[in-house]
Amino acid sequence: MRNTLFALILALPAVPAVAEEKSSKDPDRDESVLSFTLENDLPANTDRYYTNGFRFTWTSEVNDIPEAVRIWSEPLVGTGETVRWQATFGQNLYTPQDIKLPDPPADDQPYAAWLYASVGVITDEPYEGDSRFSRVQTSGILSLGVVGPLALGEQVQDFVHDIVGSPDPQGWDHQLKNEPAVLLMLQRRWVFGAPLADFGGLRVDAAPHATAALGNVFTHAAAGLTLRFGDPPDGDYGPPRIQPASPGSGFFGEVVGGDRLGWYVFAGAEGRAVGRNIFLDGNTFEDSPSVDKRYFVGELSAGAVLTYDDFRIGYTHVIRSPEFEGQGGPSVFGGITVGWRF
């Protein structure tokens, strides 16, 4: 969606330049976080494949979890020393290479939209299995939604394209059919106990991760590693991403040492073994457009995060290897995230 939803970030309510001084603030107090993440292929000047995604996520205070959420999540993620839960609402859009064609080629990315709501639980605890790591973070996320016309992909894309003056997509009549969408995502990330290097208080660290996804939306197994350099806030393990992706962090705390300003740059890589991707395989129970997916997909990402007091902004640039046979090059897109801790 060229020149599309990235413009909407400018419409968010402006944050006052000078916040009220919080002299009575306890630096160790726990808080919840509200985040907005927008991914779009605008940085590549394209309008194809995974073309747009957004999500709003609220992450709770520590150990303040509803009983019903705790009951279903404990068998998956355990109890943990620190437990948070989160609620998410989002949408993903997928289009073929040329959106001006009313009858898109059968061997190109099908039109598809996914509208969903998620509930997730994140545990964070000391890691005893390997002396190189200090902590381990485990998350379980259950997403329920719909794929197909009820996901409102055509309406959203038409609306935004009309606003920014981009061509209207012509092939949404060929999108995937309506289907309930279920996805269970399990992720684990190991945090190094000491920096790999230290440059006057600026640290270099690394965090490997592993992911398993199960559902009629995605089924895959993944593993990867993220390297980071800077002065990050406590509890911030990377900016939030939209699935499928390397794990991000909905929560962020105070900058270590009490500074108001925190920052870091990062780079990561992930490989995925793909069993199912509904946006390539097509509908589960009905005939629909589909393509021959690739069973192994790689992804490189890099970006930067800046925090100031209770606010965080980050950018992630992603290059994803071709996901289906005949795809015209990799998918390239960028993601902006803004967060407020309160």
- SS3 state at 45: coil
Structure tokens at 30: 């726990």
- pTM of the predicted protein model: 0.88
Average pLDDT over residues 175-184: 98
For residue 328, the tally of other CB atoms under 10 A from its CB is: 13
The residue type at 300: L
Mean pLDDT, residues 56-69 taken together: 92
Give the CA distances from residue 45 to residues 3, 62, 259, 334, in Å, rounded to whole numbers and listed in that order: 8, 41, 38, 11
How many other CB atoms sit within 10 Å of the CB of residue 57?
21
Please say if the pLDDT value at position 140 is more than 90. Answer: yes
pLDDT of residue 114: 98
Mean per-residue pLDDT for 25-51?
Answer: 83
The 10s digit of each residue's pLDDT in 89-101 is 999 999 999 999 9
Least confident of 5-9, 184-188, 224-228: 5-9
Q: Which of 20-24, 191-195, 306-310 has the lowest mean pLDDT?
A: 20-24
Considering only CA atoms, give the Rg of the chain: 20
Task: Identify whether 266 is part of a domain.
Answer: yes
15 lies in some domain: no
Domain that holds residue 304: 5-9+34-341
Q: What is the CATH number of the domain that holds 281?
A: 2.40.128.140
User: Which among 132, 134, 136 has a CA at the least distance from the CA of 122?
Assistant: 136
247 in a structural domain:
yes
- Asked if residue 181 is part of any domain, the answer here is yes
Beta strands in 47-168 (DSSP E): 49-59, 82-95, 112-126, 133-147
| 334: pLDDT strictly greater than 80 | yes
For position 127, what pLDDT does the model report? Answer: 75
pLDDT the model gives residue 164 = 79
Burial class for 71, CB neighbours closer than 10 Å (0-12, 13-18, 19+): exposed
The overall average pLDDT reported for the chain is 88
Query: Per the domain annotation, does 26 fall within a domain?
Result: no
Amino acid present at 7 = A
Question: 203-256: per-residue pLDDT in tens?
Answer: 888 899 999 999 999 999 999 999 999 988 888 888 899 999 998 888 888 887
- Report, as an integer, the average pLDDT of 105-128: 93
Looking at per-residue pLDDT, the higher value among 192 and 12 belongs to 192
pLDDT at 1: 52
Report the C-alpha gap between 139 and 124 in whole angstroms.
9
Identify whether the C-beta of residue 111 lies closer than 8 Å to the C-beta of residue 172. yes
Sign of CA dihedral 286, 183, 250, 243: negative
29, burial (CB in 10 Å: exposed 0-12, middle 13-18, buried 19+): exposed
Quote the pLDDT of residue 4: 43
Query: Is residue 21, in this structure, part of any structural domain at all?
Result: no
| Domains held by the chain: number | 1
Q: 34 exposed, middle or buried (CB, 10 Å; 0-12, 13-18, 19+)? A: middle
CA 160-315-186 angle, to 5 degrees, is 95
Has residue 288 been placed in a domain?
yes
pLDDT band at 7 (very low <50, low <70, confident <90, very high): very low
Q: Is the pLDDT of residue 64 over 70?
A: yes
pLDDT surpasses 50 at 10: no
259 located within any domain: yes
Cα–Cα distance, 258 to 30 (Å, whole number) = 15
